Amino acid sequence: MFVKGKILCDTVTNYPSRQVSTAVKAKGNNLKDFFVTEPPFAEKLQSRIGEREIELCPSRIETSYPKAGETNAGDKMYIVNNDEYKQGVSVEVCGNSGEKCKLSESFPTGYQAICQQKYSLKRMVGIDRNGESIVDHFKVPSCCVCSVTVQI
């Protein structure tokens, strides 16, 4: 179901689209507010970096329609996203997670600066192990930070 190392997957082999539609319909109108008819506002988001600031870890803002994801509890689950029901989310993906931050050589000796992907939680409709639609909190890439550690 998942690509190794990914928290959200937009493309899933053998995605159970029919089962997903059936599970959502079984809940009636209780879930209608989760589904969108237009894309999220990713296009309107702007860089958080000012003119005189330097971005230590590059990132990109995208709109994602994930079909599988990891919940806050660490469970891997299908997310409702097919032709009939769409859940779009704006994500900020780290361009070089796990690599050295820009200007890391400028840090004092003994400090290591590494780019790291951070996540927020987004409520979305997923499909549980019993094939029923449920609302859960899924991890969503939210920003890229330069994390500094002391090497002793």
pTM of the model: 0.83
pLDDT of residue 7: 85
The CATH H-level superfamily of 8-43+53-95+122-144 is Cystine-knot cytokines (2.10.90.10)
Write out the two tokens for 119. Answer: 């996540």
Other CB atoms within a 10 A radius of the CB of residue 114 amount to 17
Amino acid of residue 137? H
pLDDT of residue 27: 85
Going from N- to C-terminal start, the domains of the chain cover 8-43+53-95+122-144
The pLDDT tens digits along the chain (152 residues) read: 555 567 899 999 999 999 999 999 998 778 888 887 666 655 555 555 567 788 899 999 888 999 999 999 999 999 999 989 999 999 999 999 999 999 989 888 999 999 999 999 999 999 998 999 999 999 999 999 999 999 87
